[in-house]
Structure 1
Amino acid sequence: MRLNSTRFRIDPTPRRADGEYMAHVRISTNRPDGSEYDVHLSGDLAGFEIREDAIAYAQSWAEQWLYARFG
């Protein structure tokens, strides 16, 4: 089975804490009635000095998480 990447939305927006960007991710999708719900909310995954590095890490982590469960 191939992962349908349009079925899920990944929000890898990091949070700023203690001088670094904390990578974390929100994965969501829609129910058949169109309402949105969260499939997974991660905790802090790792800390980075550069915001873009935190985003890239969270995005990759989420894709791997989805593939492991729905792939």
Structure 2
Amino acid sequence: MRFNSTLIVIDPTPRRADGEYMAHARISGSRADGTGYEIHSSGDLAGFDAREDAIAYAKNWAQDWLHARFG
């Protein structure tokens, strides 16, 4: 499934904690009038040594979460 990036945005920015990058995802949307709203925030998903690995994990997790709920 492909999501319209103008309506749904995945922010996979990890946070740094205890020497590792904690993957998490914030999924938000945009209403017709342009105002934003949060759909879901994952909390910490997993820890990684590399920032890029945390980002990739969070993106995949968010896409799976969206697919499971909105098909």
TM-superposed CA distance for 1:3, in Å, is: 4.8
Give the Cα–Cα distance (whole angstroms) in 2 for the partners of residues 40 and 67 of structure 1: 13
Give aligned-pair identity as a percent: 66
In structure 1, runs of 5+ residues without a counterpart are: none
In structure 2, runs of 5+ residues without a counterpart are: none
TM-superposed CA distance for 1:29, in Å, is: 0.6
Segments of 4+ moved more than 2 angstroms: 2-7
8 Å contact from structure 1 (residues 9, 28) kept in 2:
yes
Aligned position for 1:5: 4
Give the Cα–Cα distance (whole angstroms) in 2 for the partners of residues 38 and 53 of structure 1: 24
Q: TM-score, normalised by structure 2?
A: 0.90
Give the Cα–Cα distance (whole angstroms) in 1 for the partners of residues 56 and 9 of structure 2: 15
Q: Give the residue type in structure 1 aligned to 2:3.
A: N
TM-superposed CA distance for 1:4, in Å, is: 3.0
8 Å contact from structure 1 (residues 22, 54) kept in 2:
yes
1:49-68, Cα deviation, whole Å (9 max, x unpaired) = 00000000000000000000
